[in-house]
Amino acid sequence: MAKRHLIAAFAAATLLAVGANAASAQENIKIGFLPGVVDPFYQVMELGVNKAAKDLGIEVVTQVPPTWGVEAQTPLLNAMIARGDLNYIITAPVDKDQMVPALQAALDAGIKVITVDTFLGDGDYVNGPVTFPISYIGSDNVEGGRISARGLAKAIGGKGTVYINSTNPNVSSVEGREQGFKEEMAKDYPDITVLGPDYNLDDPNKAAQQTAAVLEQHPDLAGVFGTNVFSAQGAGNAVVNAGLGGHVQVVAYDATKDAIESLNKGDVTLVLAQKPFDMGYLAVEFAAADAAGVTSLPKRVQTGFAIIDKDNVDDPNYSRFIYKAE
Amino acid sequence: MATPDVNIGAPVATPAVARRHRLVLTLSRLWAWAFLGLMIVFFVIAVPIYNGGSVNFLTVRNSQNILVAIIPVLLLGLGQTFVIIGAGIDLSVGWVMSLGSVLSALALRAAFNAGLPLFPSVVVGFLAAVAGAALVGLINGTIIAKLKVPAFIVTLGSSFIVRGVALLMSENTTVIGLPRGIRDYGNESLFYLIRGEGGGFYFLAPPELTGELLRRMDRILSYPVVITAIVVAIAMFILHKTQFGRHTFAIGGNIEAARRAGIPVDRRVIMLYVLSATTAGIAGFLSTLRFTAGSAVIGDPLLLSSIAAVIIGGVSLFGGAGSIIGTVIGSLIIAVLTTGLVMLNVQAFWQFIVVGVVVIVAVLIDQSRELIVGRTRTGPPT
């Protein structure tokens, strides 16, 4: 009995402490930012985080894993938890299952979690297997795959054979893109046949070889969907070297500067830009809002896409979505 | 494949045993060729059957695609061939290639922006890649030879350092803004063949083409393939025709004996790692031209493939035996598999399984060879 009272008292004290913390939070909160890996996409996200932090007068501590993987991200996360002075962690979990315990530990240490770009569980923080993060802010990869499919279908006139070149199996982001692409083609474009995916393991040389082999196999190939920059770079190289630049349309996911350069050179027809700056900025705003006691933050925010082609690449309304880290 | 002098030892067995030995030795030399041949025959038959007769495996374009595809693995493998014959290992080559790619891109861009014409800028890029890579090899080799630290550890450590340096120098993993024209150096070719009606064979420059004719044009011997072939020829000459090559076999066969024979072992070992890093640097330079961008991650996935190519090609992991042409065959096996499997719509991961089996077979054959040759080479135990 005494023990239960003790627990109740402790819980009440904790609640009070948290409440007191929230009341004075506006200027006092401190946020940890832990993206997935060093790359231009997350660099732009970091710009968004830093801008919001500056606008709101919040301190942010950033740690960037040098490689993509649970074994690289977890120690940095643990170090952030061990600091003891963070109230929120904004992170892109590199694995939707394996990162759950580590982020749960952050929550247990009193640090609230917002995920950006990637998610935990199935990304549904209301009814899904993981519900503790405040929100998942990112673009929907399946939707991105659909948009890519529609863009490619339009570019090839709604019929023909297209090919997916991808990086690695079992990565939620590229898997979603493949899935959305295939679904959309199957649903709305009965005259389009989809081949692949082949996996190039992040090696553009291999992507080029695979695409060249598919071009031999299907000389009438109309288009290629590269699910990330390596895939699109390799596929574009193979297409141009086969004398098919401009005849075989290549869609690239992610508007890195080299994807845009490929677009300018004509190796790539369409570039799908996500909005990492928005993701970073919104996540910090969400943390501030939560600290100020806002309780109706959406559990899922889709940041959407911009589609860049050679006609609009110089238009500032579109070019501002190119991943530039300055 | 000429066996160098240190390796020659008269078989010391009865005629029956000697015959068996000869068989094993012949097998160990020829099996990779046989495997490559069988694999090509298999794809030549299987690809048309699978695709309903309309698609052929053995086309001009496919052969050229495969030649382009082997370049990175082969170049990394060439240097590695020297190192492994010398009974060492170089685990840093993939990342040295990335460093070479970044350095060549940065230097080329700087030179071009400083007003140098395109070709000299490309030469500056080449020199930067080779010099930067060779420096890494020099440091690796010096620590290994002079401080007697195992090559495995030294090159493992330097692979991390090189990776960090390449990422730092490139800032966001890709160096872009290179002059457009370098694309031609990395992708155009010596000959152009336009198949079918209105076609022809052209040297250096294709005619102005549009539409259908462009589709029928094959690039034959692209510049990177030519450059790689030159590097292969130089490597063959060094390994099989020079004193340095003979010393390499001797060091790999028995380093103490080599030292007693008066071979400057330390200098030779340092040179092995310089060579290995240099070919990796050239691979990085060529990838920069090909994709008109420097990449700090371009070589990351290639280390294991390059070692596999070397082992499949019959280079002994015990050191002291191997050839350049074997490594070429090993690289070809890997590339032919990739293209063939894609054309059969087989998951590319089967490539790993086949390559893995072939590597293990190669090592088994190497070991049985070692049982025979090794005894004659090192003499009876004392």
Phi first, then psi: give them for residue B377, nearest 5 degrees: -75, -45
pLDDT at A9 exceeding the cut of 60 = no
Q: Is residue A316 part of a domain?
A: no
Q: Is A134 found in the same domain as A153?
A: no
pLDDT at B36 exceeding the cut of 60 = yes
Please give the pLDDT value at position A243.
Answer: 84
For A200, the token pair is 């190039």
Please give the pLDDT value at position B1.
Answer: 41
Residues of A in contact with B298 (CB under 8 A): 203-205
Cα separation, A243 vs A264, whole angstroms? 17
Residues of B in contact with A252 (CB under 8 A): none
pLDDT at A5 exceeding the cut of 60 = no
Contact B342 A217 (CB under 8 A): yes
Cβ-proximal residues to B74 (8 Å cutoff; 6+ apart), any chain: B228, B232, B309, B327, B328, B331
Q: How many CB pairs under 8 A join A and B?
A: 115
Chain B's closest residue to A200, CA to CA, is B348
Cα separation, B39 vs B333, whole angstroms? 8
b vs e for A189-214, b when ≥16 Cβ sit within 10 Å of the residue's Cβ? beebebbbbbbbbbbbbbbbbbbbbb
b vs e for A27-59, b when ≥16 Cβ sit within 10 Å of the residue's Cβ? eebbbbbbbbbbbbbbbbbbbbbbebbeebebe
Nearest to B301 among A66, A201, A244 (CB): A201
Neighbours of A312 (CB within 10 A): 13
Chain A's closest residue to B181, CA to CA, is A265
Radius of gyration of chain A (CA): 22
Neighbours of A294 (CB within 10 A): 11
Average pLDDT of chain A, as a whole number: 87
Mapped onto helix, strand or coil, the DSSP state of residue A274 is coil
Report how far apart, in Å, the C-alpha atoms of B94 and of each of A298, B106, B157, B175, B280 are.
45, 19, 13, 18, 7
pLDDT at B14 exceeding the cut of 70 = no
Cβ-proximal residues to A137 (8 Å cutoff; 6+ apart), any chain: A114, A115, A116, A279, A282, A283, A286, A301, A303
Does any CB of chain A come closer than 8 Å to the CB of residue B97?
no
Cα separation, A274 vs B310, whole angstroms? 42
Contact B301 A203 (CB under 8 A): yes
Please give the pLDDT value at position A326.
Answer: 58
**Which tens digits make up the pLDDT trace of B64-118?**
989 999 999 999 999 999 999 999 999 999 999 999 999 999 999 999 999 999 9
Preferred mutation among A206, A224, A231, A233 to probe B, highest tally of B CBs within 10 A:
A206
Cα separation, A251 vs A228, whole angstroms? 9
Instruction: Count how many domains chain A has.
Output: 2
Q: Is A172 found in the same domain as A119?
A: no
Cα separation, B48 vs B269, whole angstroms? 49
Of the candidate ranges A179-193, B142-156, B202-216, the one whose mean pLDDT is the lowest: B202-216
Please give the pLDDT value at position A19.
Answer: 42
Query: DSSP letters of A130-198?
Result: ---SS-EEE--HHHHHHHHHHHHHHHTTT-EEEEEEES-TT-HHHHHHHHHHHHHHHHH-TTEEEEEEE
**Which tens digits make up the pLDDT trace of B332-357?**
999 998 889 888 888 767 878 888 89
Radius of gyration of chain B (CA): 22
Q: Is A97 found in the same domain as A33?
A: yes
Q: How far is A196 from chain B (nearest CA, A)?
A: 8
E strands present in chain B: 174-175, 189-194, 200-203, 217-222, 294-295
Chain A's closest residue to B194, CA to CA, is A243
Contact A265 B180 (CB under 8 A): yes
Averaged over A257-261, what is the pLDDT?
85
**Which tens digits make up the pLDDT trace of A60-108?**
999 988 777 888 899 899 999 988 899 999 999 988 888 898 999 999 9
Please give the pLDDT value at position B374.
Answer: 58
Cα separation, B7 vs A301, whole angstroms? 69
Predicted structure pTM score: 0.79
The residues spanned by each domain of chain B are 60-303
pLDDT at A207 exceeding the cut of 70 = yes
**Which tens digits make up the pLDDT trace of A212-227?**
999 999 989 999 999 9
pLDDT at B7 exceeding the cut of 60 = no
Please give the pLDDT value at position B37.
Answer: 94
Please give the pLDDT value at position B12.
Answer: 45
DSSP annotation of A245? B
User: Amino acid identity, residue B227?
Assistant: I
pLDDT at B50 exceeding the cut of 80 = yes
For B277, the token pair is 């890093």
Q: Is residue A24 part of a domain?
A: yes
Compute the CA torsion angle A214, A215, A217, A222 (nearest 10 deg).
100
Phi first, then psi: give them for residue B242, nearest 5 degrees: -115, 165
Residue where a domain stops, chosen among A273, A290, A319? A273
Interface of B with A in 224-283 (CB under 8 A): none
Q: How far is A206 from chain B (nearest CA, A)?
A: 7
Quote the domain boundaries for residue A163.
141-273
Q: Is A163 found in the same domain as A120?
A: no
Of the candidate ranges A50-54, A192-196, B150-154, B181-185, the one whose mean pLDDT is the lowest: B181-185
pLDDT at B369 exceeding the cut of 80 = no
Residues of A in contact with B346 (CB under 8 A): none
Bridge partners of residue A252, in order along the sequence = A226, A271
Chain A's closest residue to B210, CA to CA, is A243
Residues of B in contact with A213 (CB under 8 A): 62, 65, 338-340, 342-343
Q: How far is B107 from chain A (nearest CA, A)?
A: 18
Cα separation, B302 vs B299, whole angstroms? 5
Nearest to B343 among A199, A213, A242 (CB): A213
For B352, the token pair is 């790993």
Bridge partners of residue B294, in order along the sequence = B175
Range A6-9 contact pairs with CB under 8 angstroms and sequence separation of 24 or more? none
Q: Is A135 found in the same domain as A220?
A: no
Report how far apart, in Å, the C-alpha atoms of B377 and of each of B21, B87, B210, B316, B319 are.
14, 15, 62, 14, 12
| Residue keyed to tokens 């501030």 | A288
Please give the pLDDT value at position A137.
Answer: 95
For B307, the token pair is 């070692």
Residues of A in contact with B293 (CB under 8 A): 233, 258, 261
Contact A219 B297 (CB under 8 A): no
**Run of H or E residues at A32:** strand A30-34
Does any CB of chain A come closer than 8 Å to the CB of residue B360?
no
pLDDT band of B172, cuts 50, 70, 90? low
Q: Is A35 found in the same domain as A113?
A: yes
Q: How far is A126 from chain B (nearest CA, A)?
A: 36
Does any CB of chain A come closer than 8 Å to the CB of residue B214?
yes
Contact B68 A208 (CB under 8 A): yes
Q: Is residue A187 part of a domain?
A: yes
**Burial, A319: exposed, middle or buried (Cβ in 10 Å; 0-12, 13-18, 19+)?**
middle
Contact A205 B219 (CB under 8 A): no
Q: How far is A31 from chain B (nearest CA, A)?
A: 24
Q: Regarding beta strands B294-295 and B174-175, do their DSSP bridges make them parallel or antiparallel, or are they unpaired? A: antiparallel
Q: Is residue A229 part of a domain?
A: yes
Nearest to A210 among B71, B298, B342 (CB): B342
**Burial, A238: exposed, middle or buried (Cβ in 10 Å; 0-12, 13-18, 19+)?**
buried
Contact B187 A241 (CB under 8 A): yes
Please give the pLDDT value at position B358.
Answer: 86
Chain A's closest residue to B174, CA to CA, is A258
Residues of A in contact with B340 (CB under 8 A): 213
Query: DSSP letters of B277-291?
Result: HHHHHHHHHHHHHHH
Cα separation, A312 vs A274, whole angstroms? 16
Domain of A132, CATH number, reads 3.40.50.2300
Contact A213 B183 (CB under 8 A): no
Chain B's closest residue to A241, CA to CA, is B187
Q: Is A218 found in the same domain as A116?
A: no
Contact A244 B180 (CB under 8 A): no
**Which tens digits make up the pLDDT trace of B277-325?**
999 999 999 999 988 888 888 898 899 999 999 999 989 888 888 899 9
Percent of residues, chain B, with pLDDT higher than 90: 55
Does any CB of chain B come closer than 8 Å to the CB of residue A214?
yes
Q: Is residue A318 part of a domain?
A: no
Edge-to-edge, what's the strand order for the sheet holding A270-273? A192-199, A160-166, A223-226, A249-253, A270-273, A306-309
Q: Is A257 found in the same domain as A146?
A: yes
Contact A212 B65 (CB under 8 A): yes
Q: Is A170 found in the same domain as A74?
A: no
Query: DSSP letters of B90-105?
Result: -TTHHHHHHHHHHHHH
Q: Is A280 found in the same domain as A134?
A: yes
Q: Is A285 found in the same domain as A269?
A: no
Please give the pLDDT value at position B352.
Answer: 83
Q: Is A148 found in the same domain as A40?
A: no
Please give the pLDDT value at position A282.
Answer: 97
